[in-house]
Structure 1
Amino acid sequence: MTEKIWLSSPHMGGNELKYIHEAFEENWVAPLGPNVNEFEKELEKKLQSNVKVAALSAGTAALHLALIECGVEYGDEVICQSMTFSASANPIAYLGAVPVFVDSEKDTWNLCPNALEDAIKDSILKGKKPKAIIAVHLYGMPFKVEEVMYIADKYEIPVIEDAAEALGSTYKGKACGTFGKYGVLSFNGNKIITTSGGGALVCHNLEDKEKTVFLSTQARDNAPHYQHSQIGYNYRMSNISAGIGRGQMEVLDERVNARRSMHNFYVDLFEDIDSVNVFSEPNSDYFSNHWLSAIIIDSKMLRKTREDLRKEFLMVNIESRPLWKPMHLQPVFKDCKYFGSNISENLFEDGLCLPSGSNLNESHKERISKLIEGFFL
């Protein structure tokens, strides 16, 4: 069978084993140790803005703890971008809180500022001011930071940035994940860099980081015996996983450049195809890592759909995938409130994510080009 071209596969840099071997040699096989400490420092250096980073077992864990630290409790409302992966919304349900979903806008496919304010006003009118706003940098594209933060500040609601897909992305030169009260990073196997599984919570002061570490290590009180005054979680990143992360940090800039190069490849490939729009930055304020390159197909003009193209790719062992299905369309969240129009629904209906890995070579590109050129003839 022809080699499979994956949507976004792990890409090792070479030095990961060096840090893993050091952990074994020094017997640091635990959810703490030198690799964890150094990985956090390297992330802080990359993000700048004087942030503090707590390395955790998953981006979902980071989001869960961020909600807890924002004071979210049972019955509270939390606003969440509808067009995202379910991990953005699930931690709201973990706490027994209620997600309120908000539509996207057309420029960045992210949280619509107008619909966001409508949702806030509705909740306040009903005596239930939202406890937090989860805004996502979808596929590495920064959301409309100034508009969203202005509204959040106006109503004094903390923003949790879901930057799981956006390590290396910036808005006006400032790193995604550093604008909100908390930022969430992911190092899942398909992300820009990986620790096999893992994530981090970006905080703006040492106190918040220390609280995150405390909660992520079973909330053990400072006592000679095991004493717990509040509920904790087993969410700390292992020293082995952090060793992988240290090796990956050495090649982060290369990985971002490679993903952006794939995006440019698709821009060139579709340049003369009027029925396709490649998802790109709206202006120079936005710098996307282009974690995934995505397109919108005008099915009325083409008389073919994104599903037709996905199946064509599948037939020749190339992975592609529809855009995230909006959360307000998911059966598990069918009873939740939703504010906006049908932008995210239309994006889902017509959008497709294309192979975007940093390890794709010229042979892979030739196979992709050949299929696309044949499909759009």
Structure 2
Amino acid sequence: MRSQDHDRLFLSPPHLGRHEINYVHKAIEDNWVAPAGPNLTGFEADICQATGVAHCVALSSGTAAIHLGLILLGVGPGDEVLCPSFTFVATANPILYVGATPVFVDSEADTWNLCPDRLREAITDRIARGKKPKALLLVHLYGMPARLTEILAIAAEYELPILEDAAEALGSCFNNKPLGSFGTVGVFSFNGNKILTTSGGGALVTNDAALAQKARFLATQAKDDAPHYQHSEVGYNYRLSNILAGIGRGQMELLCERVKRRREIFAWYKEHLACLPGLGVAPATEPAGSRSNRWLTTVLLDPTETTATPETVRLQLETHNVESRPLWKPLHLQPLFVGAPMYGGSVCANLFDRGLCLPSGTAMTEADLRRVAEAVAEGLPVPVS
């Protein structure tokens, strides 16, 4: 069947539950529609409970949370921030917002996250050049925990604060501790394509009460403690609305269920695509201690076994009205970051050349999954001999 025969299957669409509307109705009935109110404080408490972090500030986006996190860590003009190249541009853009320079680091092949060896290389080289990095921006890609044991040890050795970008990793854990809770500051996203959504939104979490207080201050236009509007520093309009926080409250009730379903979808693809030549679901395994929310199921093509490319498979899926997407294009290959320092690069570049994200929404049915699998199979030509 072709595209006109089916509704579109999106990559990771919002999936609302049963109770979001109750929180939203209550906010409207009580006239709590501003970026303040009981849904907002309740949503922050829900996030704290789910992550085990003491303080949460709900914000308008995950990008806003990274921006404020960099400010809280003292990053400013002329500083350098270590950052994985293999991530979405929203991770690195805030480094530019504060006038700093990203120093990109390659991935390792098992989790696709920041490579500890390349990280150490980057730190020692920047120090040798007379420029010790100000902070480490650590990402857990597609929900997979980074190699935290090694990375945390390196960061501690060089006294580097960690800003932990767990935008894709809500519900993931390492050694039974939720991701987002390992850095000085952690960040989540509740964009429409994430495992939970508030339509648009994000959150900053920290165990440091002073940092949380400062984040709230900056997120509400940095209004000084005065009866009139007085401002001594630059502030931002970054607080989440009470209505959207109501959606978040309903969504947080479903976190365990949503993680369970994403992992089931990953397992289904892994089983049912195993017979296809030159294609494998990856990263196939979780390193010891890691538990991924499997936000998106991703596959890699082996050019020694198939002439198919991510683009030919993507276009084949489009003929079935199925959305798919290449893996993140490494940031060191983006025009925006030409000239930025890069350590390594071949691993993440290879992943980009070979990888594709498949529809992974938690509302997918068995029939939806089979439709995707059949379309993928059609997109794979005769194996390379």
Corresponding residue number in structure 2 for 1:333: 337
* Aligned residue-pair number: 376
- Offset of residue 96 of structure 1: 1.0
Residues 312 and 379, structure 2, Cα contact 8 Å, conserved in 1: no
1:232 and 2:201 matched: no
- Offset of residue 274 of structure 1: 5.0
Q: Partner letter of residue 162 of structure 1?
A: D
- Offset of residue 14 of structure 1: 1.9
Q: Partner letter of residue 177 of structure 1?
A: G
- Offset of residue 374 of structure 1: 3.3
Q: Write the deviation string for residues 163-199 of structure 1: whole angstroms up to 9, x where unpaired.
A: 0000000011110000011111000000000000000
- Partner SS, residue 75 of structure 1: coil
Distance in 2 (CA, whole Å) between partners of 1:253 and 1:268 is: 23
1:293 and 2:301 matched: no
1:186 and 2:186 matched: no
Identity across the alignment (%)? 51
Residues 316 and 378, structure 2, Cα contact 8 Å, conserved in 1: no
1:28 pairs, out of 26, 32, 35, with 32
- Partner SS, residue 135 of structure 1: strand
Distance in 2 (CA, whole Å) between partners of 1:126 and 1:371 is: 51
Q: Write the deviation string for residues 82-118 of structure 1: whole angstroms up to 9, x where unpaired.
A: 0000000000001111111000000100001111111
1:219 pairs, out of 213, 218, 222, with 222
- Offset of residue 272 of structure 1: 2.7
Distance in 2 (CA, whole Å) between partners of 1:9 and 1:88 is: 21
Residues 281 and 288, structure 1, Cα contact 8 Å, conserved in 2: no
Q: How does 1:244-255 map to 2 (within 5 A)?
A: 244-255=247-258
Distance in 2 (CA, whole Å) between partners of 1:294 and 1:366 is: 16
- Partner SS, residue 14 of structure 2: coil
Structure 2: where are the runs of 5+ without partners? none
1:84 pairs, out of 84, 87, 90, with 87
Q: How does 1:254-333 map to 2 (within 5 A)?
A: 254-273=257-276, 275-279=278-282, 280-333=284-337
- Offset of residue 372 of structure 1: 2.7
- Partner SS, residue 111 of structure 1: coil
Greater CA deviation, 365-374 or 121-130?
365-374
TM-score, normalised to structure 2, is 0.96
Q: Partner letter of residue 221 of structure 1?
A: D
1:210 and 2:220 matched: no
Q: Write the deviation string for residues 258-283 of structure 1: whole angstroms up to 9, x where unpaired.
A: 11111001110122335222123333
Q: Write the deviation string for residues 184-223 of structure 1: whole angstroms up to 9, x where unpaired.
A: 1000000000000000001112221111101100111111
Distance in 2 (CA, whole Å) between partners of 1:225 and 1:242 is: 28
Corresponding residue number in structure 2 for 1:5: 9
Q: Partner letter of residue 295 of structure 1?
A: V
Distance in 1 (CA, whole Å) between partners of 2:210 and 2:290 is: 31
- Offset of residue 253 of structure 1: 1.1
Residues 317 and 379, structure 2, Cα contact 8 Å, conserved in 1: no
Q: Partner letter of residue 81 of structure 1?
A: P
Corresponding residue number in structure 2 for 1:374: 378
Aligned-residue RMSD, C-alpha: 1.1
1:124 and 2:127 matched: yes
Residues 273 and 373, structure 2, Cα contact 8 Å, conserved in 1: no
2:137 pairs, out of 131, 134, 138, with 134
Q: Partner letter of residue 165 of structure 2?
A: D
- Offset of residue 44 of structure 1: 0.6
1:93 and 2:96 matched: yes
TM-score, normalised to structure 1, is 0.98
Distance in 2 (CA, whole Å) between partners of 1:47 and 1:281 is: 23
What stretches of structure 1 move > 6 A for 4+ residues in a row?
none
Distance in 2 (CA, whole Å) between partners of 1:132 and 1:51 is: 22
Distance in 1 (CA, whole Å) between partners of 2:139 and 2:216 is: 23
Distance in 2 (CA, whole Å) between partners of 1:369 and 1:274 is: 13
- Partner SS, residue 160 of structure 1: strand
Corresponding residue number in structure 1 for 2:41: 37
- Offset of residue 360 of structure 1: 0.7
- Offset of residue 159 of structure 1: 0.8
Q: Partner letter of residue 196 of structure 2?
A: I
Q: Partner letter of residue 178 of structure 1?
A: S
- Partner SS, residue 301 of structure 1: coil
- Offset of residue 15 of structure 1: 1.1
- Offset of residue 54 of structure 1: 0.7
1:148 and 2:151 matched: yes
Q: Partner letter of residue 339 of structure 2?
A: D
Distance in 2 (CA, whole Å) between partners of 1:193 and 1:45 is: 15
Distance in 2 (CA, whole Å) between partners of 1:151 and 1:250 is: 36
Distance in 1 (CA, whole Å) between partners of 2:22 and 2:34 is: 17
